[in-house]
Amino acid sequence: MEAPAAAAAESSNNTNTNGGGAEDEGNTGGSSWWRLPERVWLSAVRSAETVARIARDDPRRVAHSLKVGLALTLVSVVYYVTPLFNSFGGSAMWAVLTVVVVMEFTVGATLSKGLNRALATLVASSLAIGAYKVASLVVRSEEAESILLVVFVFFIASAATFSRFIPEIKARFDYGVSIFILTFSLVAVSSYRVEELMPLALQRTTTIFAGVAICHCTTILVCPVWAGEDLHKLAANNLDKLAEFLEGMEIECFGENARSKNLEGKNFLHAYKSVLSTKDKEDSLCTVAKWEPFHGKFRFRHPWSQYQKLGTLCRQCASTMEALASYVVILTKSQYPEANPELCLKVQTTCGQMSLHSARALRELSSAVRSMTTPSSANNDLSAAMKAANSCRNELLEDAAQLQVMHIAVIGSLLSDLVMQINEITESVHNLARLARFKDPEKTRNDVVINVKT
């Protein structure tokens, strides 16, 4: 009797357990439904934080968004006002499409796309109408006319497409060539079915010109964002980041008791890294900056290409810093023994002087670029850095046979290379100052003194 009773009790326990699990599962499912509003709220809060962070990082993005809305509002007038719509016809929608496609963040990019679109549309429409006239005059039958139009489309589209492989056209007129191919093909093909081709082409060209004009006026007159200014600031920021690395090297590596510190994770070791990835941004800003008119301190023919040369030198310098940073981190971990502490101390002091004077020179160059003045005191710091580099080379050559000092010799050699590269950067900044006609601070100061005396 005890065995059946025990089995019944176990079965009762299993039933209670399963029932409780089902109830828990039902409660869990119910709680997940109850938590759905909370999850939606948290997702909305995260999205709002992301939007706020993007707006704080660059408030110009908010202004650009409002500018696009304003441009679309203005161009919609062409479609909604009856007299204007009667003038442009159904082609008024091309003006709206033009604003959406042409409006870019910077003034240079908007001018580039707008002028490319307007000129390409005008040239392509004129050429397509000419092809239609030639085809209608040369041949008599409609079949022969269509064949001749197809031949025109084939050769002109092929030639225009091949021109996109030319580097000069690819850099500045690639978008215009694409619009040319599209417009020519549409007008040439539609000419076979449309009776009045001239009014249709004229309406589309006029509406596109209206859209381009609205884009240009909006982007220039309302909170303009100049690509040239961004490129100018980028060059100065790169010089500051290189100087930050050298300042950290002077303080953390060559100061008192610096050899006992672990440099891994120090912020200054990563200051140069953003400089290595600036090429694409520099090339893009330089290309569109050439389209921008006179603004601020930047003349019409400002030497924008000189910023690309300066950026290339900065990236070469950053590459040397990357090698130097890696070697310094490994050295501080290994604690390599010193057989000649007197020589190492002497080289360490010289490296500190190179880092200090090089950092000062880069800071002065950055300040000169920002203020658009000729760098003056940078030459003194650079001379001191080059003198320290020559001294470092002489000291290392005297004891080059001692393998125990090779670790400090590598650091000294890399720093010497950095000084030579900073010398090239200084020459590039001087060339930029000469071509862009930077102000001479000494001359400005003397003029101020003379005015005060008079």
Give pLDDT, residue 90.
64
Q: Annotate 293-332 with DSSP letters as a single string.
A: --BTTB-TT--THHHHHHHHHHHHHHHHHHHHHHHHHHHH
Higher pLDDT, 208 or 260: 208
Cα–Cα dist 386/420, whole Å: 8
Q: What is the pLDDT of residues 21-80, one digit of tens each?
A: 444 444 444 556 777 787 888 888 898 999 899 989 889 999 999 999 999 998 888 777
Residue % of the chain over a pLDDT of 90: 36
Question: Quick one: pLDDT at residue 23?
Answer: 45
pLDDT band at 195 (very low <50, low <70, confident <90, very high): low
**Helices (DSSP H) in 191-304: which residue ranges?**
197-221, 227-248, 279-289
Q: How confident is the model at residue 343 (pLDDT cuts 50, 70, 90)?
A: low
pLDDT of residue 199: 78
Q: Looking at this protein, which amino acid is placed at residue 203?
A: Q
| pLDDT tens for each residue of 418-436 | 889 999 999 999 999 999 9
- Out of 98-102, 208-212, 337-341, which region has the weakest mean confidence (pLDDT)? 337-341
CATH code reported for the domain at 227-453? 1.20.58
Taking residues 152-161, what's their average pLDDT? 93
- Cα separations in angstroms, 434 against 237, 365, 377, 427: 20, 14, 17, 10
The amino acid at residue 257 is N
Q: At what angle do helices 107-138 and 93-102 cross, to 10 degrees?
A: 130
Least confident of 17-31, 87-101, 253-267: 17-31
Yes or no: say if 65 and 225 are a contact pair by the CB < 8 Å rule.
no
Q: Which of 250, 275, 238, 263 is CA-nearest to residue 381? A: 250
Average pLDDT, the chain: 80
> Is 260 a residue whose pLDDT tops 60?
no
Tell me what pLDDT residue 341 has.
63
Separation CA 71–CA 97 (nearest Å): 11
Cα separation values, 374 from 170, 242, 301, 383, 384, Å? 35, 20, 19, 17, 19
Q: Which of 81-95, 243-257, 377-391, 422-436 has the lowest mean pLDDT?
A: 81-95
pLDDT at 32: 65
Q: Distance between CA 33 and CA 29 in Å, rounded?
A: 7
In residues, how long is the chain?
Answer: 454
- Give the contacts of 247 (CB within 8 A, at least 6 positions apart): 268, 355, 356, 359
Of 105-109, 257-261, 313-317, give the lowest mean pLDDT range.
257-261
